[in-house]
Amino acid sequence: MPVLVAYIFRRTPTGALAANEQLTGPLVTVLQRVFDLTEARIDRTSVSVGSGQQLQVGDLPDGAVREAIVNAVMHRDYRRTDRVTVEHSPTRLAVTSPGGFVTGVRTDNVLTTSSRTRNGGLAQAVRGLDFAETAGTGVDRMYAEMTRIGHQPPAYQADPESVTVTLRGGAPNASFTRFVATLPADEAEDADTLMVLLTLLTQRIIDARSVTPLLQKLREEPVAALGSAVTYRRRTADQLDRKVIALVKEAGTINSRMVRLMLDLDVPTTSRLLRDLVERGFLVRTSKATRGTAVTYGPGPKATSRRRPSHRPVDGPQHEEIDLD
């Protein structure tokens, strides 16, 4: 019976072999065995996140490890007789799968390109067996799991013969892990957000060329939370807008106090937000008052549009619309 996965463990990255298992049998059994072997050898650190809560954080995050292994098995070229190789040490995991990337995927676009596989039936089976919660977006999951505890994202090497993904771990950055734990769940699990935060944490000097792709991913809440510290006005039709429009559609009429309390904004930021939404046609004024909470707003003509928002500065052309239906 052919060997499907070779699992190798060293106590140091270049040390002598401490385990060398050549795994055969049904793929389901082999995958579970590899998971058990890696998880049993992952060191864990206790991180306090406040309010008496403790997180047990793996030096190599379980989710990233599982996705690296599942992706290697799911996307490999089964026309080749080579085995998937998992090389494990306490602070490093390298997984090599036979065959190059699927057409259209490269090392420089592996995070941003759409998910694709050469083994559609196998991918469907993997999803059905729930071996990976996000089998179709495993790269995003690996990036998020690594960066949420302050580690560098996965590193890829590829040629026509094989693809290797390397996870470099170690003890988590406790301060960074605590901060991420305070974020809303959707942000704490978003690879783009975490990459921005990690870049700002680890890069002493950045320039416009290197940081622009990351900064364009910043959402509205962090910008609003920085308040007057932000010297530019980059407003996009994004999460704050959607929340205000959802509120006015539900309540029928809103005022600045309702928005300020719902979004936890200061008065100047709330005023700018409402004025911007009126100018762009998402809100209309429904009272004759000109100042304070006596000014009320209703849904504007664009509030129920089916078009998706275009991300652009608030002072740019006024033609984006939001779909909330």
Q: For 126-152, what is each residue's pLDDT tens digit?
A: 777 777 554 446 788 888 899 989 899
Closest CA to 88 of 183, 21, 160, 3: 21
Q: Where do runs of H (alpha helix) occur along 264-303?
A: 267-279
Q: 323 phi and psi, to 5 degrees?
A: -105, 115
Report the distance separating Cα 31 and Cα 18, nearest Å.
20
How many percent of the chain have pLDDT more than 70?
Answer: 79
208 Rama class: left (phi>0) / alpha (psi -120 to 50) / beta = alpha
Query: Could you tell me how far CA 93 lies from the centroid of its own chain?
Result: 20
Rounded-to-integer distance, Cα 170 and Cα 299, Å:
51
Place of tokens 């995958």: 31
Distances (CA, A) of 119 to 77, 116, 205, 247: 8, 9, 43, 44
- The phi-psi region of residue 274 (left if phi > 0; otherwise alpha if psi is between -120 and 50; otherwise beta) is alpha
Q: Which residues does 23 contact at the CB level (< 8 Å), separation at least 6?
A: 3, 4, 5, 6, 7, 30, 33, 34
What 3-state class would DSSP assign to 190? coil
Flag whether pLDDT at 248 surpasses 60.
Answer: yes
Has residue 18 got a pLDDT over 90? Answer: yes
Per-residue model confidence as pLDDT tens digits over 165-185: 999 999 998 888 888 888 888
Query: Model-level pTM?
Result: 0.62
Q: Is 317 helix (H, G, I), strand (E, B) or coil?
A: coil
**Edge-to-edge order in the sheet of strand 162-168:** 17-23, 5-10, 84-89, 92-98, 162-168, 155-159
Q: Whole-angstrom Cα distance, residue 206 to residue 199?
A: 9
Q: How confident is the model at residue 324 (pLDDT cuts 50, 70, 90)?
A: very low
Longest dimension (CA), the chain: 81
- Go through the domains of the chain in sequence order and give each one's CATH number: 5-182 (3.30.565.60), 234-325 (1.10.10.10)
Task: Tell me the pLDDT tens digit for each residue of 37-61.
Answer: 999 999 999 988 777 788 899 999 9
Judged by DSSP in three states, 248 sits in: helix
Helix (H, G, I), strand (E, B) or coil at 23: strand
Computed over every residue of the chain, the mean pLDDT equals 81
262 near 241, Cβ under 8 Å? no
Q: 191-200, 246-255, 272-281 — which is least confidently predicted? A: 191-200
